[in-house]
A and B are shown apart, each in its own frame.
Chain A
Amino acid sequence: MGEAEVKPKKAGPVQCSICSQRRAALKRPKTLEQICRECFYAVFEEEIHRVVVDNQLFKPGERIAIGASGGKDSTVLAYVLSELNRRHNYGLDLFLLSVDEGITGYRDDSLETVKRNEIQYGLPLKVVSYKDLYGWTMDEIVKMIGLKNNCTFCGVFRRQALDRGAAMLKVDKLATGHNADDIAETVLLNILRGDIARLSRCTSIITGEDGPIPRCKPFKYTYEKEIVIYPYSFLQNLNRIYTYAYFKRLDYFSTECIYSPNAYRGFAREFIKDLERIRPRAILDIIRSGEKFRISTSAKMPEQGTCERCGYISSQKWCKACVLLEGLNRGLPKLGIGRTRGLNNGLECDTKQSNGVKNIQSKQCGTLDF
Chain B
Amino acid sequence: MQLTLEFGGGLELLCESVKIHSVNVDPQVGEEKLTMKDLLSWVRANLIKERPEMFMKGDSVRPGVLVLVNDCDWELSGQLDTTLEEKDVIVFISTLHGG
- Which residues of A come within 8 Å of B, CB atoms? 1, 5-11, 14, 23-27, 34, 37, 69, 71-74, 177, 181-182, 224-225, 227-229, 232, 236, 252-256, 269-270, 273-274, 276-277, 358, 360-368
Question: Which 5 A-B residue pairings sit nearest by Cβ, starting from the closest?
Answer: A366-B99, A273-B63, A273-B64, A254-B98, A71-B98
How many residue pairs link A and B with beta carbons under 8 A? The number is: 128
Question: Is A71 within 8 A of B64, CB to CB?
Answer: no
Q: Chain B contacts of A7 at CB under 8 A?
A: 70, 85
Cα of A268 to Cα of B83 in the assembled complex, Å = 33
Q: How many chain B residues touch the partner (CB < 8 A)? A: 35
Cα of A311 to Cα of B90 in the assembled complex, Å = 53
* Chain A: minimal CB distance from B61 (Å): 10
Which has the most chain B C-beta neighbours within 10 Å: A37, A72, A182, A360?
A360
Cα of A276 to Cα of B63 in the assembled complex, Å = 8
Q: CB < 8 Å: which of A5, A11, A228 contacts B9?
A: A228
- Which residues of B come within 8 Å of A, CB atoms? 8-11, 13-14, 51, 54, 62-64, 66, 68-73, 75-78, 82-83, 85, 87, 89, 91, 93-99
Question: Is B98 within 8 A of A253, CB to CB?
Answer: yes
Q: CB < 8 Å: which of A25, A360, A366 contacts B94?
A: A360
Question: Is B73 within 8 A of A27, CB to CB?
Answer: yes
Cα of A6 to Cα of B85 in the assembled complex, Å = 12
Question: Is B66 within 8 A of A225, CB to CB?
Answer: yes
Q: Known contacts A7-B85, A74-B99, A254-B10; is A229 also within 8 Å of B54 by CB?
A: no
Question: Is B82 within 8 A of A228, CB to CB?
Answer: no
Question: Is A27 within 8 A of B76, CB to CB?
Answer: yes
Cα of A182 to Cα of B95 in the assembled complex, Å = 11
Question: Is A9 within 8 A of B97, CB to CB?
Answer: no
Q: Known contacts A9-B83, A225-B66, A277-B63; is A256 also within 8 Å of B97 by CB?
A: yes
Q: Chain A contacts of B91 at CB under 8 A?
A: 232
Question: Is A364 within 8 A of B97, CB to CB?
Answer: yes
Q: Known contacts A26-B76, A27-B73, A225-B95; is A256 also within 8 Å of B9 by CB?
A: no
Cα of A276 to Cα of B13 in the assembled complex, Å = 25
Cα of A37 to Cα of B72 in the assembled complex, Å = 9
Q: Known contacts A72-B9, A224-B95, A273-B96; is A25 also within 8 Å of B71 by CB?
A: yes
Q: Chain B contacts of A255 at CB under 8 A?
A: 10, 13, 98
Question: Is B63 within 8 A of A236, CB to CB?
Answer: no
Q: Chain B contacts of A229 at CB under 8 A?
A: 66, 68, 73, 93
Q: Chain B contacts of A236 at CB under 8 A?
A: 71
Q: CB < 8 Å: which of A232, A274, A366 contacts B8?
A: A232
30 A–B contacts, CB within 8 A, in A order: A6-B71, A7-B70, A7-B85, A9-B69, A9-B78, A10-B85, A11-B77, A27-B73, A71-B98, A72-B9, A73-B99, A177-B99, A224-B95, A225-B66, A228-B93, A228-B95, A229-B66, A232-B8, A236-B71, A254-B9, A254-B94, A254-B98, A255-B98, A270-B62, A273-B64, A276-B63, A360-B13, A361-B97, A363-B99, A364-B97
* Chain B: minimal CB distance from A174 (Å): 15
Q: CB < 8 Å: which of B77, B82, B89, B99 contacts A72?
A: B99
Cα of A277 to Cα of B57 in the assembled complex, Å = 12
Cα of A368 to Cα of B98 in the assembled complex, Å = 10
Which has the most chain B C-beta neighbours within 10 Å: A6, A14, A69, A228?
A228
Cα of A334 to Cα of B92 in the assembled complex, Å = 42
